[in-house]
């Protein structure tokens, strides 16, 4: 049984490329939750986000033999697959449906986070709803950076843009999100 | 604005690095601080998570698919090899027939005999042994040869060798692999198989035998993967190639990419699908395209006729298994510069099916030179293998040949009990260990005891015949162990089917191929007889799996002597309204008869079919000169209409190098089964490559005007005209 702890991602991915099932399982374990968050933020539906998460990993499996670690960081490559899967989904299912506000998504009790959230009177539902109102590329950058935890470089690789462009989109995206949340607060 | 973007990113980076929020916010204008706080809130927010059940199902599905793909990758469908033109033919599955079947090595690669596990080389300076079968030994510098095992590491300076019926994979840290075939020795000269931060350097020497090298791609242009032989060196980057070291020459075959082959300061670039040969003390030959295939032998001599085509041979041609006219062989060779086909290797696949029979019957009388089994007289002699303990009344399996006078000659008679216990087995394999109570022979553990007859002088590494019985407990109890002839590597045993995917019978796992004849409807729990071959690397490959749950069945091939009543090979047959008889069978035809022996001794035929089969298939590489209007014109002048081709794989263009697989049917007609594009040249060659002694030669051919054999006559033509003659059906050599 492979112990992926302490293994760097190039080694893990190399093993996965050679068909090592433990390594493939480790990649799933490491990335599925963040990938689901990204897809959920774009789709607003749990079931569809779950289905697409599974699809993305199956596509990853198919594409792994052709992946070249020296050219693209793994997470950026994986999220490119996810974006392409989303595009396919929209092509078949029609345009993006905004996240309903508020949505009855059950939440875990993260009391340690509430202090931070309280002063902004922000909940997950409100944040996702506000995010859905952003311009598409800003929304992508904010979701990839802060929901999925990709680095600036990884986001740049995923969206195939320069790091400076991502910095600008990140700044504008956060500002627009804050404005959307403020507007929502006024309206509510 | 850029400063603001950079400033925000700089603060976010500090947060990501673990600095407390308060510290990060210190000194920031309020507007910017709010953005940083918002980012931090987004990060820490409790988002929905996928349900446990969905996650578990997804993960399971993912790993299941990964496992399946891994199996498909490491155990390709039988008949596949890493060489696309052979893969296309799908013919190579039964390539290994005898222990020294050198030509079979490539087939073994594709049959997944050198499968690796999840083990990896621990570091760049070590290789690891995977998939070892048979006898594999390792030696340190100045040290002694010791047994090697899977997972053992090897470092620079060490030697590795395999015995007959043996093979192993040497896997490197960067993913490159060298697969060693039987009777092969290599040494690791330099080993730095790093994946990153500098060039990879893997330098190996192949002293003997055959290797298949799969070289991982490296982005570093200074990386090296080189195999040096006594007669030259092959250097490759991200490619796949085979190296064969023979006594008098070395051959490099390239499956994928390009390989630079050098000797005596002369370097040739060998492309995908090409081969080069280095004779002792000579530079590499001009690369030429390889050919391969299988077929029935129709003529033997300097010119062999196999599967309806003629091939030149010479004293260097390696012929294994002593094939004769009527036998089925595999072959590998080259297309010479004058368009003629030259064979480097011919290997017996199986003897002619004519005159072969087997049936299950009841012993009615046992005599010195003749037995009566279910009403038939069966001749026996000193060559007949007779299982001990057979008595009158026993149900037995009889195998052998039909003599010209129609009598049966038994090569083997064994008990055919209905229970799984006491079932006979026999096989030929490599002695891997010799214990007091059990031996390991080609991976099979057989128990030995006081009653086991063991020939004197047998040692580890010897090839032996083992016969015995499978006990109720599943034990393989040896009755005799004797030295085997080199060419006999067959096995047969009977037992209950434990699994059919992959196959496992009586505790023994074995491979099947597309050529394996498997009786329809066999299920787990059925009692079956398995016959097959032990391949050159020790893997068991079944050629036939048949159900033996009906004790009185028969099956044989013979000539039809009469249709009413039916008599085949001297046997009176009964047919009824359920007997399936292939249309068009006439007296004199060779047929295969299957049926059962009724209680009154009547031989009831259930199926009678023509036993003829195609004469064989050939795979020939050739360059496409033009493509238009559904037709392609080849460099040898042939014009092929694509609607007559069974399958076209790849993008056919001018200067494509393609493999054409043609098969000759039993009636002599030729079918183009497939065309596969294996390589795209930048432009059409301006002239065929030259080859020493080729230009201006006169060649003797048998000319068939309009393909009419009755008008055949011998011609001597300039070699430049040979391809055109061959294209319309003429054959090399004088007419018979």
Chain B residues 78-137 with a CB less than 8 Å from chain A: 118, 120
Longest CA–CA span in chain B (Å) reads: 111
Q: What pLDDT, on a 0 to 100 scale, did the predictor assign at position B49?
A: 86
Q: What pLDDT, on a 0 to 100 scale, did the predictor assign at position B318?
A: 79
Q: Which chain A residues have a beta carbon less than 8 Å from that of B2?
A: 164, 167-168
At B707, is the secondary structure helix, strand, or coil? helix
Q: What pLDDT, on a 0 to 100 scale, did the predictor assign at position A75?
A: 92
Nearest CA distance, B129 vs chain A (angstrom) = 16
Task: Take residue A26 and report the two structure tokens written for it.
Answer: 């480790």
Which residue has better confidence, B619 or B498? B498
How does pLDDT run across B186-213, given as a tens digit for each residue? 999 999 999 888 889 999 999 988 899 9
How does pLDDT run across B235-272, given as a tens digit for each residue? 876 688 989 887 778 888 888 888 889 888 888 888 87
Average pLDDT over residues B681-695: 48
Nearest alpha-carbon partner for B512 in B482, B535, B491, B543 = B543
Chain A residues 71-130 with a CB less than 8 Å from chain B: 105-110, 113, 116-117, 120, 122, 124, 127
pLDDT at residue B666 is higher than 80: no
pLDDT band at B480 (very low <50, low <70, confident <90, very high): confident
Nearest to B46 among A54, A110, A151 (CB): A110
Q: What percent of chain B has pLDDT over 90?
A: 9
Chain B residues 10-29 with a CB less than 8 Å from chain A: 12-13, 16
pLDDT band at B402 (very low <50, low <70, confident <90, very high): low
Mean pLDDT lowest among B32-41, B177-186, B488-497: B488-497
DSSP 8-state assignment for residue B90: T
pLDDT band at B517 (very low <50, low <70, confident <90, very high): confident
Chain A residues 14-43 with a CB less than 8 Å from chain B: 14-15, 17-22, 24-25, 28-29, 32-33, 36-37, 40-41
Nearest CA distance, B684 vs chain A (angstrom) = 31
Task: Take residue B585 and report the two structure tokens written for it.
Answer: 């069978």
Nearest to B62 among A36, A57, A171 (CB): A57
pLDDT band at B711 (very low <50, low <70, confident <90, very high): low
CB contact under 8 A, B118 and A10: no
**Average pLDDT, whole number, for chain B?**
75
CB contact under 8 A, A171 and B35: yes
CB contact under 8 A, A50 and B195: no
Q: Per-residue DSSP letters for B512-551?
A: --TT-EE-TT--TT-EEEEEEEE-TTS-EEEEEEEE--ST
Task: Annotate B299-324 with b (16+ C-beta within 10 A) or e (fewer).
Answer: ebeebbbbbbbbbbbeeebbbbbebe
Determine the Cα–Cα distance for residues A16 and A57; give it in Å rounded to an integer: 12
Residues 6+ apart with CB under 8 A from B247: none
- The residue among B17, B58, B177 with the most chain A CBs within 10 A of its CB, best to mutate, is B58
Q: What pLDDT, on a 0 to 100 scale, did the predictor assign at position B695?
A: 38
Q: Is B6 an 8 Å CB contact of chain A? A: yes
Dihedral (C-alpha) A172, A178, A184, A185: value to the nearest 10 degrees?
A: -160
Residues 6+ apart with CB under 8 A from B52: none
pLDDT band at A169 (very low <50, low <70, confident <90, very high): very high
Mean pLDDT lowest among B208-217, B412-421, B590-599: B412-421
CB contact under 8 A, B5 and A170: yes
Determine the Cα–Cα distance for residues B273 and A93; give it in Å rounded to an integer: 47
**A55: nearest CA partner in chain B:** B58
Asked if A170 and A141 count as a contact pair (C-beta separation under 8 A), the reply is: yes
DSSP 8-state assignment for residue B574: B
Nearest CA distance, A54 vs chain B (angstrom) = 6
**A168: nearest CA partner in chain B:** B5
Asked if A109 and A132 count as a contact pair (C-beta separation under 8 A), the reply is: no
Mean pLDDT lowest among B53-62, B169-178, B545-554, B646-655: B545-554
Q: Is B2 an 8 Å CB contact of chain A? A: yes
Nearest to A116 among B44, B49, B62 (CB): B44
Average pLDDT over residues A174-184: 86
pLDDT at residue A36 is higher than 90: yes
pLDDT at residue B499 is higher than 80: yes
How does pLDDT run across B539-553, given as a tens digit for each residue? 778 888 887 754 456
Task: Take residue B481 and report the two structure tokens written for it.
Answer: 């162990």
Nearest to B41 among A37, A61, A116 (CB): A116
CB contact under 8 A, A53 and B58: yes
Asked if B190 and B156 count as a contact pair (C-beta separation under 8 A), the reply is: yes
DSSP 8-state assignment for residue B694: T
pLDDT band at A109 (very low <50, low <70, confident <90, very high): very low
* ipTM greater than cut 0.90: no
Q: Is A145 an 8 Å CB contact of chain B? A: yes
Residue with tokens 């089917």: B497
Cα separations in angstroms, B553 against B379, B425, B595, B596, B607: 19, 19, 6, 4, 12
pLDDT at residue A119 is higher than 50: no
Q: What pLDDT, on a 0 to 100 scale, did the predictor assign at position B560?
A: 81
CB contact under 8 A, B9 and A152: yes
Chain B residues 199-238 with a CB less than 8 Å from chain A: 219
How does pLDDT run across B69-96, given as a tens digit for each residue? 654 443 322 222 333 222 222 222 222 2
Q: What pLDDT, on a 0 to 100 scale, did the predictor assign at position B726?
A: 60
Nearest alpha-carbon partner for A99 in A34, A143, A148 = A143
DSSP 8-state assignment for residue B75: S
User: How many inter-chain contacts (A to B, CB under 8 Å) are there?
Assistant: 146
pLDDT at residue B486 is higher than 60: no
DSSP 8-state assignment for residue B62: H
Asked if B311 and B341 count as a contact pair (C-beta separation under 8 A), the reply is: yes
How many CB atoms are located within 10 Å of the residue B293 CB? 27
Residues present in chain A in total: 188
Nearest CA distance, B25 vs chain A (angstrom) = 14
Q: Is B35 an 8 Å CB contact of chain A? A: yes
Q: What pLDDT, on a 0 to 100 scale, did the predictor assign at position B406?
A: 53
**A118: nearest CA partner in chain B:** B41
Which residue has better confidence, B707 or B426? B426
Determine the Cα–Cα distance for residues B70 and A16; give it in Å rounded to an integer: 10
- The residue among A15, A20, A174 with the most chain B CBs within 10 A of its CB, best to mutate, is A174
pLDDT at residue B350 is higher than 60: yes
Q: What pLDDT, on a 0 to 100 scale, did the predictor assign at position B394?
A: 83
Q: Which chain A residues have a beta carbon less than 8 Å from that of B34?
A: 178
Cα separations in angstroms, B499 against A11, B243, B272, B424: 36, 37, 39, 20
Asked if B291 and B297 count as a contact pair (C-beta separation under 8 A), the reply is: no
In this structure, the strands spanning B698-703 and B731-732 are: antiparallel
Angle between helical axes of A163-187 and B2-16 (0-180°, round to 10):
90
Q: What pLDDT, on a 0 to 100 scale, did the predictor assign at position B172?
A: 94
Q: Is A59 an 8 Å CB contact of chain B? A: no
Q: Which chain A residues have a beta carbon less than 8 Å from that of B9?
A: 152, 167, 170
How does pLDDT run across B420-446, given as a tens digit for each residue? 345 667 777 778 788 888 888 776 778
How does pLDDT run across A135-151, given as a tens digit for each residue? 888 999 999 999 999 99
In this structure, the strands spanning B318-320 and B341-350 are: parallel
Q: Which chain A residues have a beta carbon less than 8 Å from that of B73?
A: 19
pTM, to two decimals: 0.43
Q: Is B76 an 8 Å CB contact of chain A? A: no
Residues present in chain B in total: 736
Cα separations in angstroms, B639 against A48, A61, B625, B634: 55, 43, 10, 6
Q: Which residues are registered as beta bridge partners of B500?
A: B503
CB contact under 8 A, A54 and B58: yes
Q: Is A57 an 8 Å CB contact of chain B? A: yes
């Amino acid at each position: 049984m492979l112990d992926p702890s302490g293994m760097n991602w190039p080694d893990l991915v190399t093993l996965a490329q050679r068909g090592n099932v433990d390594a493939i399982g480790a990649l799933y374990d490491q990335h599925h939750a963040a990938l689901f968050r990204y897809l959920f933020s774009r789709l607003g539906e749990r079931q569809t986000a779950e289905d697409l998460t599974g699809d993305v990993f199956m596509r990853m499996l198919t594409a792994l033999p052709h992946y070249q670690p020296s050219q693209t960081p793994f997470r950026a490559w994986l999220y490119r697959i996810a974006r392409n899967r989303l595009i396919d989904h929209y092509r078949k299912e029609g345009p993006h449906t905004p996240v309903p506000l508020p949505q009855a998504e059950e939440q875990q009790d993260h009391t340690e986070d509430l202090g931070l959230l309280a002063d902004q009177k922000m909940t997950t539902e409100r944040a996702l709803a506000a995010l859905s109102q952003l311009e598409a590329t800003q929304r992508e950058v904010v979701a990839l950076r802060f929901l999925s935890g990709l680095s600036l470089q990884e986001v740049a690789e995923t969206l195939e843009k320069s790091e400076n462009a991502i910095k600008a989109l990140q700044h504008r995206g956060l500002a627009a999100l804050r404005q959307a949340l403020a507007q929502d607060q006024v309206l509510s | 604005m850029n400063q603001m973007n950079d400033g925000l990113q700089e603060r976010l980076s500090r947060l990501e690095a673990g600095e407390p929020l308060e510290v990060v916010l210190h000194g920031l204008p309020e507007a910017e601080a709010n953005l940083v706080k918002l980012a931090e809130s987004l990060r820490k927010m409790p988002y929905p998570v996928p349900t446990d059940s969905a996650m578990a199902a997804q993960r399971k599905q993912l790993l299941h698919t990964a496992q399946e793909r891994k199996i498909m990758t490491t155990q390709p469908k039988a008949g596949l090899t890493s060489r696309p033109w052979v893969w296309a033919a799908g013919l190579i599955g039964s390539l290994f027939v005898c222990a020294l079947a050198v030509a079979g090595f490539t087939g073994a690669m594709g049959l997944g005999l050198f499968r690796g596990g999840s083990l990896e080389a621990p570091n760049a300076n070590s290789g690891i042994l995977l998939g070892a079968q048979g006898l594999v030994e390792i030696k340190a510098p100045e040290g002694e040869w010791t047994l090697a095992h899977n997972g053992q590491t090897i470092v620079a300076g060490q030697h590795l060798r395999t015995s007959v019926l043996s093979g192993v994979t040497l896997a490197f840290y960067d993913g490159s692999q060298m697969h060693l075939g039987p009777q092969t020795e290599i040494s690791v000269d330099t080993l730095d198989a790093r994946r990153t931060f500098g060039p990879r350097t893997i330098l190996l020497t192949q002293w003997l035998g055959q290797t298949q090298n799969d070289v991982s791609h490296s982005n570093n242009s200074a990386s090296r993967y080189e195999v040096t032989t006594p007669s030259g060196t092959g250097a490759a980057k991200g490619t796949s190639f085979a190296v064969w070291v023979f006594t008098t020459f070395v051959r490099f075959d390239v499956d994928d990419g390009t390989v630079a082959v050098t000797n005596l300061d002369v370097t040739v670039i060998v492309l995908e699908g090409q081969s080069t040969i280095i004779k002792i003390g000579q530079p590499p030959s001009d690369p030429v395209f390889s050919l391969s295939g299988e077929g029935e032998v129709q003529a033997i001599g300097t010119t062999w006729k196999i599967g309806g085509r003629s091939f030149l041979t010479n004293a260097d041609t390696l012929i294994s298994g002593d094939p004769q006219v009527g036998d089925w062989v595999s072959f590998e060779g080259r297309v010479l510069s004058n368009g003629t086909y030259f064979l480097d290797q011919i290997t017996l696949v199986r003897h002619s099916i004519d005159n072969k029979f087997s049936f299950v019957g009841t012993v009615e009388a046992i005599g010195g030179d003749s037995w009566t089994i279910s009403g038939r007289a069966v001749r026996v002699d000193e060559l007949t293998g007779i299982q001990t303990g057979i008595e009158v009344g026993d149900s037995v399996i009889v195998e052998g040949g039909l003599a010209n006078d129609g009598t049966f000659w038994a090569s083997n008679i064994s008990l055919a009990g209905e229970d799984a216990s006491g079932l006979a087995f026999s096989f030929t394999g490599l002695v891997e260990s010799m214990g007091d109570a059990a031996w390991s022979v080609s991976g099979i553990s057989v128990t030995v005891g006081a009653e086991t007859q063991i020939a004197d002088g047998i040692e580890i590494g010897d090839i032996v015949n083992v016969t015995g019985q499978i006990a109720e407990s599943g034990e393989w109890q040896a009755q005799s162990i004797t030295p085997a002839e080199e060419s006999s590597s067959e096995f047969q045993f009977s037992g209950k089917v434990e699994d059919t995917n992959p196959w496992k019978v009586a505790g023994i796992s074995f491979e099947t191929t597309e050529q394996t004849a498997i009786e329809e409807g066999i299920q787990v729990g059925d009692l079956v007889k398995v016959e097959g071959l032990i391949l050159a690397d020790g893997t068991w490959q079944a050629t036939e799996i048949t159900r033996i749950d009906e004790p009185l069945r028969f099956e044989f091939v013979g000539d039809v002597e009469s249709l009413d009543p039916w008599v085949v090979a001297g046997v009176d047959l009964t047919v009824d309204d359920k007997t399936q008889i292939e249309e068009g069978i006439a007296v004199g035809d060779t047929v295969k008869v299957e049926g059962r022996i009724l209680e009154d001794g009547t031989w009831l035929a259930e199926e009678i079919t023509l036993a003829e089969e195609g004469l064989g298939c050939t795979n020939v590489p050739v360059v496409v000169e033009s493509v238009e209007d559904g037709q392609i014109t080849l460099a040898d002048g042939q014009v092929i209409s694509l609607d007559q081709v069974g399958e076209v794989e790849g993008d056919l263009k001018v200067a494509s190098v393609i493999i054409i697989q043609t098969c000759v049917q039993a009636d002599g007609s030729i079918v183009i089964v497939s065309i596969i594009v294996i390589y795209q040249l930048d432009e059409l060659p301006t002239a065929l490559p030259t080859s020493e002694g080729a230009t201006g030669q006169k060649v003797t051919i048998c000319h068939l005007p309009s393909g009419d054999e009755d008008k055949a006559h011998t011609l001597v033509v300039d070699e430049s005209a040979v391809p055109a003659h061959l294209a319309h059906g003429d054959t090399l050599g004088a007419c018979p």
